[in-house]
Amino acid sequence: MSQLADEIKKRMFAAMKAGNTAEKEILRVATGEITMTAARESRELSDEDVQGILRKMLKSVRETLPQADAESRATLELEESVLLSLLPKALSVDELVAALTSVADAIRSAPGEGPAMGAAMKALKSQGITAEAKTVTQAIQKIRS
């Protein structure tokens, strides 16, 4: 099992002991998703795989948040903060621009947004950086301006 999955389980048990029901349930759902994905794919998941699962859960929460009423909004915001605490810190737009300096010319000369995004994502992946598409798009726009 990945280190991140182990960390999630440890935090879940700590939340149980502390009586933090909301955090425990959020972490329990995350653990369930991780376990189901590992079983479905019949393999051990890496930390990157687990981060992908957490990002998918976070995206779902963020999509639901605007339609939520006041009561469920608080729960969703707590869920968002717990999931964010499990993921590595996201790079800012300026940090992404700095990481993309090696391919800035390719991004500027790309015929459209799609090829520019492809060049940027390829460069980030080669550096081992994962970033949200929205943030990468903002970095591309900053480079192209």
Which amino acid is present at 31? T
Distances (CA, A) of 4 to 67, 70, 136: 31, 32, 25
pLDDT of residue 71: 83
pLDDT of residue 112: 86
Residue-wise burial string across 49-85, b where 16 or more C-beta atoms lie within 10 A, e elsewhere: bbbebbeebbeebeeeeeeeeeeeeeebeebbebbee
pLDDT of residue 17: 95
Measured CA to CA, the distance from residue 13 to residue 82 in angstroms comes to: 14
pLDDT of residue 1: 65
Residues of the chain with confidence (pLDDT) below 50: none
Q: Does domain 3-86 have CATH number 1.10.1510.10?
A: yes
